Structure 1
Amino acid sequence: MKHILDALDQRREGARLGGGQNRIDAQHKRGKLTARERIELLLDHKSFEEFDMFVQHRCVDFGMDKGEKIPGDGVVTGWGTINGRVVYVFAKDFTVFGGSLSETHAQKITKIQDMALRNRAPIIGLFDAGGARIQEGVAALGGYGEVFQ
């Protein structure tokens, strides 16, 4: 059982790196924080609970099925507290495909929006992104429609 938990911890550590250390360093060089760093500053210390950390895009067009599949798919979602009050939050991760929105990315955001509505809690969205993921075409644009609805 220990090896299974160790493997899970390794997967989590990899997912927390988003697009990788080089892209994190590039964000910092521009004077910008990563999605997780922004969430950490916003919420009460150690209150963040992340959802869907391992979700990846499903796009197969334009070689996307052969390229990078990064856990989290460019958006960090979850809940935490601010001054003890529950809030739901999503933060787009520029280190992953420039924070561009895919179909699964949008599904993560709408899931957190629905949870906030059900629990009558506020939602905060932190944007650092390059728009829709063009490789997904209509699926990505439809995702924006769902988020805005």
Structure 2
Amino acid sequence: MLKKLRLSVIDIIVIVIMLAGLVCIRIFQEQLFYDPLIAFFKLGRGKVLPPFDKMRLFYGLAFRYLLNTVFSLIIIWIIFKNYQVFKLSAILYIVLFVLLCVAFFIITSTPYPDLLLVFYVRRFLIQPLLLLLFVPAFYYQRYIKP
């Protein structure tokens, strides 16, 4: 039998505010974060990555990832209200951040990096894709799986 989530009006308001925060990060990305790859991938014409300051880019990616993570973890907490789910999510966010950053900088350090691979690894770092993966997975685990 399908069980329902029980969210109060306050829960829904906070979730909407957190989603609005995620949207604002996306809307104001060029003003908030150093990322010369935004314009590069938007134009889609380059065959070679533009020059960029690796440390400055790392700090921009880390700050953006941190903001996305905080908003996402608040949403996960409000939906599930389960410390184990929250803790697992936080650990996964940290581990994936380290792995994705290492992969991103190894890939971009090669003489001829695979631009598609750079695009997708960077996408996981700058977008809240993990939230879109974790919520259905935890929902399935908690409410649907017998």
Structure of greater Rg: 2
TM-score by length of structure 1 reads 0.29
Specify which structure has the bigger relative contact order, considering alpha-carbon pairs within 8 angstroms and separated by 6 or more residues.
2
TM-score, normalised with respect to structure 2: 0.29
